[in-house]
Chain A
Amino acid sequence: MGHGDKGGRPSKKPKFSAKELAHVEDDDPYYGGEDVDDDPRDGEGKKRDFTKLELKPDHANRPLWACADGRIFLETFSALYKQAYDFLIAIAEPVCRPESMHEYNLTPHSLYAAVSVGLETETIISVLNKLSKTKLPKEMIEFIHGSTANYGKVKLVLKTLLKDEVISRARLNSEGSRGADDFTISKTMGEIGAGPSDLLNEAELAAAAEEKETHAFEIDPSQVENVKERCLPNALNYPMLEEYDFRNDTVNPDLDMELKPQAQPRPYQEKSLSKMFGNGRARSGIIVLPCGAGKSLVGVSAASRIRKSCLCLATNAVSVDQWAFQFKLWSTIRDDQICRFTSDSKERFRGNAGVVVTTYNMVAFGGKRSEESEKIIEEIRNREWGLLLMDEVHVVPAQMFRKVISITKSHCKLGLTATLVREDERITDLNFLIGPKLYEANWLDLVKGGFIANVQCAEVWCPMTKEFFAEYLKKENSKKKQALYVMNPNKFRACEFLIRFHEQQRGDKIIVFADNLFALVEYAMKLRKPMIYGATSHVERTKILEAFKTSRDVNTIFLSKVGDNSIDIPEANVIIQISSHAGSRRQEAQRLGRILRAKGRLQDRMAGGKEEYNAFFYSLVSMDTQEMYYSTKRQQFLIDQGYSFKIITSLPPPDSGPELNYHHLNDQLSLLSKVLSAGDDAVGLEQLEEDADDIALHKARRFSGSMSAMSGANGMVYMEYSTGRNKFGKGQIKGKPKDPAKRHHLFKKRFT
């Protein structure tokens, strides 16, 4: 495929460089003079001209390059790498972390996080200066000063949540907007919104900052989010530290739980916890660890250190069970102190302190509930939680999850996630919803340490067959494009080949992911493998997963996107992805996460061990289709984490014959006509409610509580639950063909 002409691609670079150059001229004395007069088309290159930076004489021993625009490059082969890495991860955002050179970016948010874990402005600058090969650019020093000076002046120490508001009213006059009274805040928000510098506010703040004594006042719980948002760098620039003085909290009862002695946190887990409990208080924030690196142990350790009531939120019922199990596994908590609250199991809370594990949906659900769950929810609302533990926190920014935070009163929030990216860029909302990022692990370091599996990522290019591609190109098939490239017979054969190879040659456990429901059903039926998708009931899911974990005969399962998050399948070590949610980087990373849990013996896994790779991630892509575009886009997050994708072009091997399906043209043609005759709805993506880059299991969870859903009266649910499609192909969406033998005798004759 080397005959594509890439020359015709329009280049956007000149347009940007003009703007950048203007910026450089204005505020950047380093780049003044002769450089600016040059041809503006070289602007891009010029911006990266660092010849002006002064090298220190002993630069070879120092690991960093610091640039005036806030970017920092770290050499990972340096002797000081470990120390430098720990420091950089605290003060800067990682942008891209390939094997030997990391790129970081200093942002106001990242510096805010740095201050909140206890670093001071001068420390940041002096350590950075020590590590840098060059003299620190003036701009960078000013930037650090500018963005850290005000941090932490307002401490949000929530000692008593329910105390009355007298103090805050008294404070109102002298402290204006910092006084954090609800209506003052909301008014100023409306007025300034966009601009960071409102004279009035700054004056007030300056006055407020001069008072040295500590003022404590209470904030209306429902306004906490607004107040925090107001105080972030883009508004008042007085970010607050949210800390919980749990040792001195005598109001809330202690929970008697400890980590079991065999629970040994790994070094990076220890480090992330030490960031959280820096000065004897608990800070709110987010800890980012790759999937399979032991996020649950971090969560359980945090809960057992705070030793107060803990509300643990997960994304679906399966992971609720898993969290409850993890709590019992790692800590000494008694069975009656922990309860699960899902639509299937409504366990009541006993005693005055305990752990409740539930889902975001259960808490945020706005409609009518059963009397029983109404009571439990009421209890959750009224209680003061010591710790709010949020799993897969990248889903939180969606509106309904904010609600969760506003209706639960918690002293400290800990968010856990593997992938702090969203396609809708709302990830920064987390800064005021929860808190700054406390710790982020480097994936490759964990791989080298043997803590997570070493994954071989591969993109398998499957050429389209002649007939499928001809249909793909036709205009009238534009809605079926996805179905056509997913059902490409060559892809099917490649998939079948990989399943056979890994099942038979290596004895691996395989997960096949398909977002496209039509493809999922077709593949799974043809290959006779179990599958789980949105409509699969909780019971059936558990049964299939159990069989997959324990049985030697079930080595492959097919999952739709319900399997993306938090379904814990530690046995699996191969993923084959046959279709995906457009260009979602998060989905790619989450799916990879399903196989990251390290398996086998530690010494085999370590660098230089017996097996180079012990897990495999295949993404099957039909060539010359949109899928190529999406596939590259999806990989960006993993590439930024230092993964590289190998491209495989000859699968299945050319000598494979009729032992794989769809060898004969006739079979391929009948498959094609099946795809073409399917309705547009049937071949589209699996539609799950509330699925805007979010929670997959929402629908099933939400409706199973209501009577109409149980009886099948709800049309949407009815369609989702229909199994007729599986057996009879695409056309039959409605109606469950029942086994005639089970029919009532009155109707037996009528239908047969």
Chain B
Amino acid sequence: MVNAVKGLFISCDIPMAQFIINYDNSLPASQRFIIHVLDSTHLFVQPHAAEMIRSAIAEFRDQNSYEKPT
């Protein structure tokens, strides 16, 4: 029987996919959101996770970018 799950399809580059997978692994089992890792640039995740992933990525990127103090 066909089993359908509603989810979010994420398409990103290779390092970001690794970042999301690593983020997912750092959470306790109950909160993990990745349903399936499709390939190195595509992920299928729980629909509610979008905001969480976005803010995690934003924080990560902020750490890696320098702003000149004024």
Interface residues of A (CB under 8 A from B): 1, 3-9, 463-466, 469-470, 473-475, 583, 623-633, 636
Contact = CB atoms under 8 A, between A and B. Distances in A.
Given A1-B13, A3-B12, A631-B66, 13 more contacts: A4-B58, A6-B61, A464-B15, A466-B14, A469-B18, A469-B19, A474-B22, A624-B15, A624-B60, A624-B64, A629-B64, A632-B65, A632-B66
A636 B58 contact: no
Contacts of A464: 14-15
Contacts of A469: 14-15, 18-19
Nearest to B55: A8
Contact of A463 (B15, B63, B66): B15
Contact of A8 (B17, B62, B65, B68): B62
30 contacts: A1-B13, A4-B61, A5-B54, A5-B55, A6-B58, A6-B61, A8-B55, A8-B59, A8-B62, A463-B13, A463-B14, A464-B14, A464-B15, A465-B14, A466-B15, A466-B17, A466-B40, A474-B22, A475-B26, A583-B66, A624-B15, A624-B16, A624-B60, A625-B64, A627-B64, A629-B63, A629-B64, A631-B66, A632-B65, A636-B68
B34 interface: no
Contacts of A631: 66
A470 B59 contact: no
A624 B66 contact: no
B57 interface: yes
Given A4-B58, A5-B57, A629 B65 contact: yes
B8 interface: no
A466 B66 contact: no
Contact of B19 (A7, A9, A473, A629): A473
Nearest to B16: A624
Given A3-B12, A626-B63, A470 B18 contact: yes
A273 B64 CA distance: 44
B48 to A, nearest CB: 17
A470 B16 CA distance: 10
Interface string B15-43: 11111011000100000000000001000
Given A625-B64, A633-B66, A636-B68, A466 B18 contact: yes
Nearest to A470: B18
A8 B51 CA distance: 12
Given A463-B14, A624-B15, A636-B68, A9 B22 contact: no
A7 B54 CA distance: 11
User: Which 6 A-B pairs give the minimum distances between C-beta atoms?
Assistant: A632-B66, A473-B22, A5-B58, A8-B58, A469-B15, A4-B61
A624 B55 contact: no
A465 B18 CA distance: 10
B47 to A, nearest CB: 18
Contacts of B15: 463-464, 466, 469, 623-624
A253 to B, nearest CB: 52
A242 B59 CA distance: 52
Given A3-B12, A473-B19, A473-B22, A626 B64 contact: yes
Contacts of B16: 1, 3, 624
Contacts of A470: 18, 21-22
A629 B16 CA distance: 17
Nearest to B41: A466
A465 B40 CA distance: 11
Nearest to A9: B62
Contacts of B26: 475
Contacts of A623: 15
Contact of A628 (B12, B13, B17, B65): B65
Contacts of A630: 66
Contacts of A466: 14-15, 17-18, 40
A4 B26 CA distance: 21
Q: Which of B15, B17, B22 has the most CB of A within 10 A?
A: B15
A522 to B, nearest CB: 22
Nearest to A628: B64
A626 B62 CA distance: 10
Nearest to B10: A3
Nearest to A4: B61
A726 to B, nearest CB: 31
Contacts of B54: 5
Contacts of B12: 3
A627 B60 CA distance: 13
A473 B64 contact: no
